[in-house]
Structure formats: structure tokens, C-alpha cells
A and B are shown apart, each in its own frame.
Chain A
Amino acid sequence: MKISCVTTFLMCGNFDNTLAHNLFYVNMETPTQFISRIISNDRISEGFFELSLSWDPRAPVPMPGQFMTVRVGSLAVPLLRRPFAFAGFDADSSSAAIIYQKRGAGTELLAAARPGDELDVIGPLGTPFVIDTDQSKHVIIAGGIGLGPMLFLSSALKSRNIPARFIFGCRNKSLVPDTKMFTDADPQICTDDGSAGFRGTVADYINTNVSLDNSTTIYACGPSPMLTSVNKIAQSSGARCQVSLEAVMACGVGACMGCAVPVVGGGYARVCKEGPVFDGGEVLWERM
């Protein structure tokens, strides 16, 4: 019941601040395990793939920032389910998308999967991004494999007519995805070697080209060094900052305590449960 409220908020508008807090209650809705079918699985850049899969209409609707776990194959290697953040969700066709990088046994196997193949899925899991509707400026920052959830967030903002800048950073031109989802986000591309777009990191780009202040919210996902510098920039400018973190996880549901990250004030938070989206100020970056 709450789910549909929030879906409405993300897709159509009609949102107020009290609902923002409800997001976290919605997130406590129990995830579902089901057998999904692959719709497409295409290479979009060097080593990166976009996979679209059917979403059980009885399962809660995924929101930007949330993730699912997938059992890849049926053998003991690779053993654990793999977590993937949603890159998109289409309610009409009840399908979800992820973007992943081929970088280990699990994703190698996933890259070999074909349309029609089945996947054992659990989701949606974790906390979503909260759209700061009281802020006037929105900046979305994605680094490398952090692209997927930020494209999902970008489309959610677009559908609500909230203008946002989209900044994507990667090592070089070969990693710039060739996909409609990406061009729809109207991205500013940054490459370390300057082979496409701005030469330098996303942090370099923001420092020289984006004015931030306390009416700005930054939403970011990417490698830890990138998030560390983005958070530093946000703090010094007074901008709010939400980050989505990545960690190796076993259960994905908050049981195993394997995906812990250090938080300000001592102790740890679970990326799968309190996260993956955290307020930048919560994370103890120097110990990441």
C-alpha cells in the first residue's frame, strides 16, 4: 500500500517531505525471492553490460539506490549471490535493469547469460536515495561501475521535472557507455586521460565547473576514493551529499554483518541494510 504511494512520488510527483521519511518504512517492506527471466544482456562499453530482466509484479517496486542479489549459476563456484544496484525499472512491462562490470567469476558467468535464461533474484534490498525536494540544485555524480543506480535516479528526477546535472567519470573513452539510458541522462563525461569529455576526475570537474552551496544536494556512487573527495567537496561547500556504497556481502539482508563500514561516532553500519545509500556525513571516510 505504501509502495504504491512512493512509486507515485517517484514517477509522477505528488510528494511532500513527510513521504520522504516514509521511504525508509517502505524500504523495510520485505523483499521477495523469485525466478526472473533475462530480457536482454548487452555489452555497452569495454567490459560493461546492461542486463534487463523481468520483475515479479508481486515483489515491491525497486527504487533508485536499492539493489537486488542474484544467484549466478547453480554450482559452488561462484558461491555467493551477487548484489547489483538497479539501473532502471519499468512498471508497464514490469522489468528491471542493472549495469555490471565483468570482473570476476560471477559476472563472467552473468555476461554469458542469454535472453530467456532464468535468474534467482532477491529484492528490492537496502535504502533508496531520498530526493531532497527542498533543495534547488541537484547534482548526480557517477564513477565507473557506480553508473547504474545514478541513471535510475536521474530518470526518477526527470519524470518529476526536477532538473539535475549528471556527471560521469571513468578512466578513458572505451568505458563511456553507448546506450540510450546514458544519453538520456545528458551526461557531462570526465575521463582521466582526456580521451572523452573533460580531462580529469569528477572531483576536478566539480571544483572548476560546478558551483555548490547549501541549496545543493549531491547524489553519488562510485569508487571509494571518488566518494571520499566528492564528500569533502560537499562538506566544504555546505552542499548535502548522499552516497551509495559498495561492499562484498554474503546475505544482503542484514543478517551476516559481513558488509560493515565504519561510521562517525563509532561502530559500523551494514551496507546492505542501513545502506547502501548513506548521508555522506555518516561515513568515517578516513577508515574506508
Chain B
Amino acid sequence: MGANVDLSVRIGNGTLANPVGVASGTFGYGGEYEGLVDFSDIGAIYTKAVTLEPRGGNAPPRLVETPSGILNSIGLANVGVEKFISDKLPYLRTLPCAVVVNVAGASEDEYRRVVERLESGCLDSVDTNGSGIFGYEVNVSCPNVHHGGLAFGTDPAQVERLTSSLRELTKRPLIIKLTPNVTDIAVVAKAAEAGGADAVSLINTLVGMVIDVKTRKPVLGAKTGGLSGPAVRPVGVALTCKARRAVSIPIIGMGGISCADDALQYILAGASAVQIGTANFVNPKTAGLVSSGIREYCIGNGISSLKEICGVAVD
């Protein structure tokens, strides 16, 4: 009551009023959840990955539930950048939350062309007020495609080169989304920072497999998939801590967050902002509940800004 809590987060030259976003791949292009959520409760929507051409995605089955989690192999199914601009962006621009476009590609050239098209196709100047595109999240960590994705994200040299290449194209906040499927995430986070990233987001899903013992075959059409949900949260928190020690740019933490306490674990481990992923499927209103829960925690503990507690568990 009456307490002023500053939950805003600075990412590059942009500011998110609310640190809680909805993760790429779990909220489509926003409109799918029309009527089910109040977008002003959400800090940012990270769109479904956008590639240069439309992609149909992987052969089904694409989804199986696992203990406290799900394993998916969607395979970056998306409408492609042109349709994204003509059909999806006009709606996204009406939302009261920030819009971060998740960009994916099979080659450095494809990533570049998507960002170039978005920069030239629809945007005037840097717009961080939520009425246009806030920034980009670069997916170098999708475990479900053969080219690009993980192939980039596990190689620090490629991450740095791709980041600096995209940095030339935009002044908007540039966020590199990292995979946990590496020996040392610190090295990759440093590479993104060296390339000029404004932030890193982590973790993307963990590679996993489920086998049907009756058919003696993997359940998913693509055989392997990416594991997400509450089961991966401790992995995400630990890797947030590791990245925190490696870089000074903000970290956007995700992986298994379904309540304010989960999000606070990430913040205490060094994340400046968080994303809700799988929990959106369980309750689309999760992001709003998490952000109001964080606010209550701050009020209850006399915290006026999240910066006061960012990383304190591990610093």
C-alpha cells in the first residue's frame, strides 16, 4: 500500500516497465490469447520465432508430457517474415506490452535478412514505448532444427560473429537466447556480449527423448525434442548464476517459472528480467500473477527496485 516499487528493467536503449515476459513459442503472435489475458499485465511478448520463409515445422507427434515438464519438437513452424509483417505485426503493435521479435535462421545470412526486413519494412525510429517492435531476441538455441539453431548456439565464435553482424543492422535492444546444451554457458554468454548483445536470455530447452516401450520407438516424430517446464527450473537458475559471473549485460532468465517465487529465484541468481514459458499453457494468466507476486514480495520486504536483489544469492 502506497509503496513505490520500481520493477522496470533497462535492456540496451530500451526499458521494460515490467520484468515478466512471455517466452517465444508459448504465446504465438499474441492474438491467440486475445480475451484470455490482459496484455497490460505482461512486460513483453517474445514472438514465435520468425524465419525468412514460412516453415511448416516437424512431423508429428510434436509434443509429449514428461514428469513436471513437456518435451516438444515443433521445429520453428512459423508464417515467415513477410506474413509476420503483414498479418501479425499490426495486431502486435496494438498491444500495451513490449514486443520482442524472436528471430531464427539456418544461416547468418538468413538471420540478417529477417532483421533487415523488419527494420526496413515497418519501423520508423527506435520505439521502446510498446507501440512497435521493442527489440530482437536471436534464437541460436533451438534444439529442433537441423541447421542453424543449436549449431550456432554451441559455437562461441559463431555466436560472436552473428551477434556483431546483427548489431550493425539495428539500434534496438538485441538479446541473444542461449542454449543449456553446452559444456560452459559462460563462454557463449561472453561471446554474445563481445559481439555487442544488449542482453542474453536463458535457458532454451534441454535436448531430451521419450521412448514408447510398446512400439519401441521414440514418441516424437523428430525423435528428440526440447524439455521445458518445472523440471528444468533448477538447471535454469544455476546457469543464470553462471552467466551472471561471466557477463555484465542483463540476463533474462527462464525455465520452469510458474509462480513469483520461481521468478524471484532467477532474479536472486542474477536475472534482471524473466520469461514465462510452459506455464502459459497451464494458465495463460501466469505472467500477470508472477509480476504482481514479485511486486508484493518487494513491498513486503521493503525493496524499492529489483536491482537491489538482482544476483544477491550468488554475488
A159 beta carbon closer than 8 Å to chain B: no
Q: Which residues of A contact B229 (CB under 8 A)?
A: 76, 79
Q: Which residues of A contact B278 (CB under 8 A)?
A: 79, 250
A30-B34, A248-B65, A257-B77 are known; give 12 further A-B pairs, CB within 8 A.
Answer: A30-B36, A32-B36, A79-B229, A249-B63, A251-B26, A251-B28, A252-B281, A253-B28, A256-B26, A260-B60, A268-B57, A287-B59
Verify B281–A256 contact, CB threshold 8 A: yes
Q: Which residues of A contact B40 (CB under 8 A)?
A: none
28 A-B residue contacts at CB 8 Å? A30-B35, A30-B36, A32-B36, A33-B36, A76-B229, A76-B258, A77-B67, A79-B68, A79-B278, A80-B70, A80-B281, A81-B281, A120-B283, A247-B60, A248-B61, A248-B63, A250-B281, A252-B281, A254-B32, A255-B48, A256-B28, A258-B62, A259-B63, A260-B60, A260-B62, A260-B77, A268-B56, A268-B57
B171 beta carbon closer than 8 Å to chain A: no
Cβ-Cβ contact count across A and B, 8 Å cutoff: 103
The chain A residue with its CB closest to the CB of B285 is A33
Q: Which of B26, B34, B60, B231 contacts A261 (CB 8 A)?
A: B60
Please report the C-alpha to C-alpha distance between residue A259 and residue B28 in the assembled complex, in whole angstroms: 14
Residue with the greatest number of chain B CB neighbours at <10 A, chosen from A71, A77, A258, A273: A258
Given contacts A78-B65, A80-B282, A256-B26, contact A250 B72 (CB under 8 A): yes
Residue with the greatest number of chain A CB neighbours at <10 A, chosen from B25, B65, B283: B65
Q: Which of A32, A71, A76, A255 contacts B32 (CB 8 A)?
A: A255
Verify A251–B35 contact, CB threshold 8 A: no
Verify A81–B282 contact, CB threshold 8 A: yes
Contact-residue bracket for chain A = 20 to 34
Query: In the assembled complex, how far is the CB of residue B21 from the closest CB belonging to chain A, in whole angstroms?
Result: 15
Chain A 266-288 interface mask (CB, 8 Å, partner B; 1/0)? 11100001000000000000010
Residue with the greatest number of chain A CB neighbours at <10 A, chosen from B64, B229, B230, B282: B282
The chain B residue with its CB closest to the CB of A254 is B32
Verify A255–B282 contact, CB threshold 8 A: no
Please report the C-alpha to C-alpha distance between residue A257 and residue B77 in the assembled complex, in whole angstroms: 7
Q: Which residues of A contact B60 (CB under 8 A)?
A: 247, 259-262, 268
Verify B68–A253 contact, CB threshold 8 A: no
A202 beta carbon closer than 8 Å to chain B: no
B221-239 CB contacts (< 8 Å) to partner A: 229-231
Verify B26–A255 contact, CB threshold 8 A: yes
Given contacts A79-B282, A268-B56, contact A32 B63 (CB under 8 A): no
Please report the C-alpha to C-alpha distance between residue A247 and residue B221 in the assembled complex, in whole angstroms: 13
